[in-house]
A and B are shown apart, each in its own frame.
Chain A
Amino acid sequence: GNSVTQMEGPVTLSEEAFLTINCTYTATGYPSLFWYVQYPGEGLQLLLKATKADDKGSNKGFEATYRKETTSFHLEKGSVQVSDSAVYFCALSEAGGTSYGKLTFGQGTILTVHP
């Protein structure tokens, strides 16, 4: 079956530090890959996505590249802000068919950014 593995947190950084959250996956076929963010007290929000190999998703300074050869989708940001403090989830969805829309999530990584 499908699975997503994220680096364990929590991750604590100072403002303007570089961020990497690792994510690797196992899937049959050619899944779409996502990063979701969950701010305190709020629901999950889609941060970025990539639907095929070598695609780069980007949003709000975050980016991640779909690497089929390493089955990875690592999240990066060059300079984090306090407002980026949240829980980040890597997820995949099988492309097409009846599974489309069903997401398999990683365990989530808590990010705390200090001023």
Chain B
Amino acid sequence: GAVVSQHPSRVICKSGTSVKIECRSLDFQATTMFWYRQFPKQSLMLMATSNEGSKATYEQGVEKDKFLINHASLTLSTLTVTSAHPEDSSFYICSARGTSGGMITQYFGPGTRLTVL
């Protein structure tokens, strides 16, 4: 079946550096990608929605200049956390929505654990 991958699965970086997280749909075309953030023992919070070839739509309270999202192709979206700080440490999860076998499908990636020192 369809699979969504994320890379890297874990990343540790120093404060002030930028980190890029990739989300790939492996055997279907993802017309829409969603990026979520999950704090420990809390729910997933939607950060932004991106449609292929368009600018991302950010949820209220999410800084678009800090969390840069690019969805340049139907199989790849990237989230770049710019000038990361310890408060950005979190679990970032992408979800890809598209069609597979003629049906609309939506799958989640395994997540990326970001730790900012």
Which A residues contact B (CB, under 8 angstroms)?
Answer: 4, 36, 41-46, 89, 101-108
Asked whether A102 and B46 contact (CB < 8 A) given A43-B110, A44-B108, the answer is: yes
Q: Mark B42-62, 1 if CB is under 8 A from A, else 0.
A: 111110010000000000000
Is B97 part of the binding interface, using a Cβ–Cβ cutoff of 8 Å?
yes
3 A-B pairs closest in CB distance? A43-B110, A44-B108, A107-B43
Contacts of B43 in A (CB 8 A): 4, 89, 105-108
Give the total of B residues in contact with A, Cβ under 8 Å: 20
| Residue among A44, A45, A103, A105 with most chain B CB within 10 A | A44
Please name all residues of chain B whose beta carbon is closer than 8 Å to the beta carbon of A43 when the two chains form the complex: 4, 6, 93, 107-111
Q: Mark B72-114, 1 if CB is under 8 A from A, else 0.
A: 0000000000000000000001010100000000111111000
Q: How far is the CA of A102 from the CA of B45 in the complex (A)?
A: 10
CA distance A41 to B93 in the complex (A): 12
At the interface, yes or no: B34 with Cβ under 8 Å from chain A?
A: yes
A42-B110 CB under 8 A given contacts A89-B43, A101-B97, A102-B49 = yes
Q: List 23 A-B contacts (CB under 8 A).
A: A36-B108, A41-B110, A43-B110, A43-B111, A44-B93, A44-B95, A44-B108, A45-B108, A89-B44, A101-B32, A101-B95, A101-B106, A102-B49, A103-B44, A103-B46, A103-B95, A104-B46, A105-B44, A105-B45, A107-B41, A107-B43, A108-B41, A108-B42
CB distance from A104 to the nearest CB of B (A): 8
Closest to A42 in B: B110
Q: In the complex the two chains form, what is the Cα distance from A104 to B46 in whole Å?
A: 8
Residues of A contacting B107 with CB < 8 Å? 43, 46
CB-defined contacts of A45 to chain B, threshold 8 Å:
108
Q: How far is the CB of B100 from chain A (nearest CB, A)?
A: 13
Q: Which residues of B contact A36 (CB under 8 A)?
A: 108
Q: Once bound together, how far apart are the Cα atoms of A36 and B97, in whole Å?
A: 15
Q: What's the Cα separation between A101 and B108 when bound, in Å?
A: 12
Identify which of A41, A89, A103, A107 contacts B34 (C-beta below 8 A): A103
Q: Which of B1-22 contact A (CB under 8 A)?
A: 4, 6
